[in-house]
Amino acid sequence: MGLLEDKTALVTGGGTGIGLATAVRLAAEGAHVFVTGRRKAELDAAAEAIGPAATPVVGDICDLADLDRLYETIRGRGRGLDVVFANASVAEFAPLEQVTEEHFDTLFGINVRGTVFTVKKALPLLNDGASIILNGSTNAGAGDEAFGVYAASKAATRSFARTWANELKGRGIRVNTITPGPTDTPGLSGLAPDAVQAADFRRRLAANVPLGRLGRPEEIAAAVAFLACEQSSFITGSSLYVDGGLQQI
């Protein structure tokens, strides 16, 4: 029997990378997983890979009507919701003098506003004792050049986890942040303009990690599964670093 047998989970941004790996892991642990994201082809492929334990729902977390439709779909299953992995986010980098309204609005619109309303609109469906996991970042407090707006959006995520853990404790609902280090995902490579620069970017990131490599999406997914299940029943308001020692050593 899996760690999440007969549970219902939601993974946002679940079509690729960490989100996809987490959806696969939660399903393997026995959960029925609702997987949402903006790209239908990726979601369909994810659902096919996972099988009948997955329900894909196309939608944008920045669109409140899409979120309402997502939660109506989950409500229709009649089992409530036990796990929310608010994973969907975007990374773009610019030094202060190059920050534009579009850059700011995109990052805060998805990473902050989208996360807030993903969780807020889930509240009526959450079963008592549910687990909410927010996707953080080691960049949140690092002060790296050109990471200002992105890091601030992830610092907001960390702050939400603490506040919501306090607000929801009466229902036994735990709220934690998963904090990945540099992870080998398609999105990471997409931050560079071409394949050669992407490979160099990945090498430079890996060189900064004490374990000497990038993380794998499956390693982040394993940590999310831990925070989602009863094995972490006395953990709330915390941030679990899965970073190869990047922020620890």
Q: Which residues contact 116 (CB under 8 A, 6 or more apart)?
A: 160
* 8-180+218-241 CATH choice from 3.40.47.40, 3.40.1190.20, 3.30.43.10, 3.40.50.720: 3.40.50.720
Q: Mind listing the pLDDT tens digit for each residue in 94-150? A: 999 999 999 999 999 999 999 999 999 999 999 999 999 999 998 866 677 888 999
150 is catalytic: yes
* Three-state DSSP state, 34: strand
* Confidence band, pLDDT 50/70/90 cuts, at residue 193: confident
Q: Mind listing the pLDDT tens digit for each residue in 70-79? A: 999 999 999 9
Query: Distance (Å, rounded) from C-alpha 184 to C-alpha 189?
Result: 8
What is the pLDDT at residue 10?
Answer: 98
User: Looking at the predicted structure, is the pLDDT value of residue 218 above 90?
Assistant: yes
What is the pLDDT at residue 239?
Answer: 97
Q: Which of 34, 85, 150, 241 is catalytic?
A: 150
What is the pLDDT at residue 141?
Answer: 65
What is the pLDDT at residue 158?
Answer: 96
What is the pLDDT at residue 156?
Answer: 96
What is the pLDDT at residue 105?
Answer: 97
* pTM more than 0.75: yes
Q: What is the torsional sign of CA 178, 133, 55, 90?
A: negative
What is the pLDDT at residue 145?
Answer: 82
Amino acid at 194: D
Amino acid at 102: E
Q: Mind listing the pLDDT tens digit for each residue in 142-179? A: 677 888 999 999 999 999 999 999 999 999 999 999 99
- H/E element, 83: strand 81-86
Over range 8-14, report the average pLDDT. Answer: 98
User: Looking at the predicted structure, is the pLDDT value of residue 188 above 80?
Assistant: no
Domain ranges of the chain: 8-180+218-241, 184-214
